[in-house]
Each structure stands twice: as structure tokens, then as C-alpha cells.
Chains A and B, each alone.
Chain A
């Protein structure tokens, strides 16, 4: 076994996990606190990427682009909450799903209209566009290391915020007991808008971080949002900690499965059948994980205490 390659794939897995966490954190909070299902969360991820791409073009600086695009995505989230989402809190989940599905159509078309059907690349500054040496003659892109460290920093920041500040206390309380928060006399509308905007910014950040690798494109959020759902189901809806653990699990299992499952299967079966079944099996891996977790814990790994 090539341990250099193994390490690289581990890092790639962590990187995917970190991105998933950024997406899942907002999703799980919005659901945990507002009881709102937001399919269009992936659209905010996409909008973040496009905002960033445009701003990088204008400013010629990736860092500046990200710094400017973040508040912009948060603002977009805030507007969306104000105009559409707020009207839906009193509706049932089916309505949430349908309306946010409509929002996806609108966002995808708007992007097509504004930026055109082809994707937008985000050029990186030279420092970020380089590689560092790993053992065994392998190299790893600096930018991916940046993604990982940004994601971990955000996770740490969220953790401190949720567990040690007043807002965090409200958020935790909101995830487990909504009426209590309202009884505390908190302006629940403001809290919702804030959480939604922060969730949007986090999703946007994920989009900005991935776009230099894949480029910003229409519908880029529609696939990864499902994986983010898998993450929050495994982690337990409403739990930041669960989202983090599950994101890492899913990121690693998916990446490692795609790279090494065929080799693993060759231990048990002929190399030909291993090579044909490995792709399908690794595509299913995270869903099988989800099914297994649910079989034992229908509420996910870290369900918020009381609903």
C-alpha cells in the first residue's frame, strides 16, 4: 500500500468533510431552531461562489473577494429569510420543501441570466496555487490545506460561540425547546433572521472555498446539498457537534471508498468483479452508513435533548 497516497486521500476526505460541515452547520441550525427545511441552502452555496468569483475578478484578489463576498451572502440570506422564509414558518414541512424547491429554480435561472450558462473559474494567488511536499515524493496543494484549516477554524469558532455565549445559549435552547426561548422574551424574529444569515454565510463560504478547484457553476449546490442532508441526519438534526462528526465521517468514507474500495474488495473477490462493483458500492457507501446509523439510532448520533 502506498502510504503517501493514503495520506493524501485522507486529507482530501477531511477537506470534503470540512466543506460538508460548513454546509450542514447552517442547515442543521435552521432546522433545529426554526423547524424549517431549506432545500435552497445549496443555492446559497452557489451564490457565495458566484459572488466571490465576480469580486475576485473586480478586485484581483482572492482574499479580498472572499472577505467581501461573505457579508454579501449573509445579506442575501437575510433578504431571503425576510421575503420568503418568514412567511413559511407557520406552514408544514411539505410546504417548506416545495417553496424552497421553487427558490432553487429561481436561483439557478437567475445565475444563468446574470452570469451565463458556463461556469466561472476563480484564479488563485501564487502562494495558494502551489504544492507542499509530503513524504514518498507526493505533493499536496496548499489551497486544500487552507480549506481544511479555515473549516476547522470555523468549527472551533462555532463551538465556542454556541457553548459559551448568550446567543449560543439561545441557539442551543432554541434547538431543544422553542417555547422556552420565546418565554425568555427574546425577539424570536431577529434570532431567526440572524441564524439564517449566518447559515447562508457559512454555506457561501463553502462555495467560495470549493469554486477555485471546481469553478462556480449552475446547480453546483444541488448535489452536495443531499450529502449535507445525509450529514445532518447522521449527526442528529439540530446538533452542531453531530454535524461536525458526521461531516468528517461522510467526507472520509466517501473519499476513501472511491479511492481504495477496489483494492479492499480484491482481498475478497476476483480483481475483475472488484473493479466492476467498487464504483457502485463506493457511490452507495455514505447512504449505507446513513441507513446503518438510523437502524440503531433513528434520531441520529447526537440528537438534541428534548424536542
Chain B
């Protein structure tokens, strides 16, 4: 019916993609390259964050330039309890979600009073505040970071100390988050969010207190990123405030836009391209950021709507993972 929420990507391609991710550990064993598991685990964790960001950026039209902050909050929600020898995963993940939601609620309540560039800069500033807050806490290592000695424990149900298990835990999380976002954007709530993106004034005139809905959307988005942060903390075993630097927030936006903002699988695709390209270029040259940055500029100038837009630009009928 509509083009807004259609994923564009044929179902079998998505299933194939997820199937590939599911088989990857086996594949990695087979080609004897365990590093691949780490690479794809990072890819999936950042995908979750990108999918969370896409909820407000792509569907809601709110350009948050501070979502890496929620990654840090989530990571420290694992790290700080672990510092006190508390490894209960249920507790850690609950803290991650609640704490990021709480921060999103407070900062979002202020940021959403503004529009456009103000919103971009304010979310950026608040993220920087979170960053500096962790930098200033000596107890948890300040900018030297914090080592996590043991991964989260789930009452013996799941042992993610094992990389394989953690990998599948992340994969299931990704699928669950995709499912959640799918439901949300198709729900009444999702309709309000995308309506407010299209024309907030009209939405108010027909009876929606848009601010509330946007704020709740912002909070959900922050919580998803916080969850991704908790996964990231488990994955890296070593966390620093630097993970929340605004440069990383910029990368997250890039991942979303690259894959096609406002489509379900777009952010996953964008993250995959981003991470794999980064991996590839950084092997070629230590100066890989240069071609990377240049590509970013070119993509923005010459194509609108990310990879999806690029395909359209190249004359293909329907892009991958895009809005159509």
C-alpha cells in the first residue's frame, strides 16, 4: 500500500542475509579465520545501534547526533557492576536499558523543544556531556577506561564467555530488535511518528500532542542503543568513554543514511558496508580515513538516500533496503 514502511528488499534476500550471519561462525571455523567472528559480531552490535537510531532518524526525522552516548552508558552499565564483582546479566542489561532510557528522557525533553540544527547540536552537546562525565570519574578509570574481567552471567542459562554463544546471543538480539522496530513503525504509534516527520503542524492540528510521541520514540531509540552498548561492553571486555565521542555518533548516522534511512534493513546494510569498508581500507593504508571521508562527501553530494539512492541513481528500478 504505502512505500514508507515497505522494506523494498525482497524477503529472500533478507532471509539469506540473516542465514549467512547464522552460518558465519561455522564458516569462520572452516576457513580457519576466527577473526571473522569478531568482525561480524561488532558489525551486528553496531547494526542494533543503527537500527535504534534509525527509529528516530529515519522514521521520525529527528537527527540525533549523540547516540554513541547511549552505547557508552550501556557499556558502563555492564562495566561498573562488574567493577564491584556483580556479573548478573539480567541486572546489567536492565541497568543499561533503564539508564539510557532515563538519560534519553531528560535530554530528549529539552532537545525536542527545538528543531532542526538546534536539535542536532543539542543532542551532540549532551552526548559530549555524558562523555566528559565518564572522563571525570576517576574511580572507573576516567579516560583510561575500565576492564571488564568477566562477561555477563545469565543464571547459568547462557554462557556468553564463550565467543560462539555470545555471537548467537548478539544475532538473536539483532533479529529481536528488528522485529520490535518493525512492529513499532507499523503500529499506531509509528504512524504518529512518521506523520510528525512529514508535517508536525498538521499533526497537531488534527489532535496529536506530537511532542510526547516524539519523546517516547526518542527514549525507545536510546534504550535500544543502550542495549547495544551492553552487548558492546561484553564483546570488547574493555570500555572507555571514548566510545561515546561524537565522532562515533557521526559514524552511526552515516551507517543509517548509507543503508537508507527509514527502511527496516537499511541500517544493517549500511553498517555492514561501513564496517567492511573500514576493515578493507585500513588494511590498505594507515591513511584510510581520507578515502573514507572523501567517499562520504561524494555519497552525500551525488546521491540522496544512501546506497539505496545510489542504486536508483545508477538506474536500477528498486534499491536495496530502501524506501522505493
- Please determine whether A31 and B301 come into contact, CB atoms closer than 8 angstroms: no
In contact, A99 and B297 (Cβ under 8 angstroms): yes
Q: Among A106-114, A156-164, A184-192, which stretch is in contact with chain B?
A: A106-114
Decide: B122 and A109 in contact? CB cutoff 8 A: no
Alpha-carbon separation in the docked complex, A222 to B138 (Å):
23
Asked whether A98 and B254 contact (CB < 8 A) given A108-B289, A109-B289, A109-B290, the answer is yes
Contact between chains at B125 and A230 (CB < 8 Å): yes
- Report chain B residues within 8 Å CB of A113: 287, 290
A229, B293: Cβ atoms closer than 8 Å: no
Contact A106 B289 (CB under 8 A): yes
Contact across chains for B297 and A102 when beta carbons are under 8 A apart: yes
Selected interface stretch from B111-119, B174-182, B311-319: B111-119
CB atoms of B246 and A110 under 8 A apart = no
Contacts of A282 in B (CB 8 A): 136
Q: Which A residues touch B113, using CB under 8 A?
A: 294-295, 298
Taking CB atoms, residues of chain B closer than 8 Å to A94 are 57, 63, 253, 257
Asked if A298 and B114 make an inter-chain contact with CB atoms under 8 angstroms apart, the answer reads yes
Q: Are B136 and A98 interface neighbours, CB within 8 A?
A: no
B9 part of interface (Cβ distance < 8 Å): no
* A93 in contact (CB, < 8 A): yes
Beyond A110-B290, A113-B290, A294-B114, whether A95 also contacts B304 by CB under 8 A is yes
Residues of B contacting A299 with CB < 8 Å? 118
Interface string of A204-236 (1 = CB under 8 A from B): 000000000000000000110010011011000
Q: Which of B111-137 contact A (CB under 8 A)?
A: 113-114, 116-118, 120-122, 124-126, 128-129, 132-133, 135-137
Chain B interface SS verdict (over half)? helix
Contacts of A230 in B (CB 8 A): 121, 125
Interface pair B116/A102, CB less than 8 Å apart: no
Beta-carbon contact of A287 and B125 below 8 Å: yes
Residues of A within 8 A of B304 (CB): 91, 95
Please give the distance in Å from A239's CB to the nearest CB on chain B.
13
Note all chain A residues with C-beta closer than 8 A to B250: 39, 97-98, 101
- B294 engages A106 (CB within 8 Å): yes
Residues of A within 8 A of B129 (CB): 283-284, 287
Residue-wise interface mask of B (282-324) relative to A, using a CB-CB cutoff of 8 A (1 in contact, 0 not): 0000111110111111011100100000000000000000000
Are A97 and B296 neighbours in the complex by a CB distance under 8 Å?
A: no
* Secondary structure call for the A interface: helix
* Chain A residues within 8 Å of B135, by CB: 283
Closest to A117 in B: B286
Among residues of B, the one whose C-beta sits closest to the C-beta of A36 is B117
For B294, list chain A residues within 8 Å (CB): 102, 106
Nearest Cβ on chain A to B270's Cβ, whole angstroms: 12
Tell me whether A112 and B287 are in contact in the complex, defined as CB-CB below 8 angstroms, given that A103-B293, A229-B125 are known contacts. yes
A84 in the interface, Cβ–Cβ < 8 Å? yes
> Which listed residue (A37, A99, A295) contacts B120, Cβ 8 A?
A37
Residue of B132, B138, B300 ringed by the most chain A CB atoms within 10 A:
B300
- In the complex, the answer to whether B290 meets A233 with C-beta atoms within 8 Å is no
Cβ of B172 under 8 Å from chain A = no
Q: Complex: how many Å from CA A253 to CA B300?
A: 38
Q: Which of chain A's residues have a CB closer than 8 A to the CB of B132?
A: 283-284
Contacts of A112 in B (CB 8 A): 286-287
- Are B114 and A93 within 8 A (Cβ)? no
Per-residue 0/1 for B228-259: is the Cβ within 8 Å of any A Cβ (1 yes, 0 no)? 00000000000000000111001001100100
* Also in contact, A226 and B296, with CB within 8 A (given A97-B63, A279-B137): no
Question: Within the complex, what minimum Cβ distance (angstroms) separates A62 from chain B?
Answer: 30
Q: Within residues 80 to 106 of chain A, which ones have a CB less than 8 A from any CB in chain B? A: 84, 87-88, 91, 93-95, 97-99, 101-106
Chain A 96-151 residues near chain B, CB threshold 8 A:
97-99, 101-106, 108-110, 112-113
Q: Does B265 contact A (CB under 8 A)?
A: no
Question: Any chain A CB within 8 A of the CB of B158?
Answer: no
A203 to chain B, nearest CB (A): 16
Distance between Cα atoms of A172 and B121 in the complex (Å): 23
Report the minimum CB–CB distance from A23 to chain B (whole Å). 13
Task: Pick the residue among B110, B117, B292 that contacts A37 (CB under 8 A).
Answer: B117
- Apart from A106-B297, A283-B135, what are 19 other A-B pairs with CB-CB below 8 Å? A37-B117, A37-B120, A87-B301, A88-B300, A91-B304, A97-B65, A98-B296, A99-B300, A102-B292, A102-B294, A102-B297, A110-B290, A112-B287, A222-B245, A226-B125, A280-B136, A283-B133, A284-B132, A290-B125
On B, residues with C-beta under 8 Å from A are: 57, 63, 65, 110, 113-114, 116-118, 120-122, 124-126, 128-129, 132-133, 135-139, 245-247, 250, 253-254, 257, 286-290, 292-297, 299-301, 304
Which 5 A-B pairs give the minimum distances between C-beta atoms?
A105-B293, A102-B296, A283-B132, A279-B136, A287-B129
A→B interface (CB under 8 Å): 31, 37, 39, 84, 87-88, 91, 93-95, 97-99, 101-106, 108-110, 112-113, 222-223, 226, 229-230, 232-233, 237, 276, 279-280, 282-284, 287, 290-291, 294-295, 298-299
A-B contact pairs, 20 of them (CB 8 A): A99-B297, A99-B301, A102-B295, A105-B293, A105-B296, A106-B290, A106-B294, A108-B289, A110-B290, A223-B128, A230-B121, A237-B117, A276-B139, A287-B125, A287-B128, A291-B110, A294-B110, A294-B122, A295-B113, A298-B113
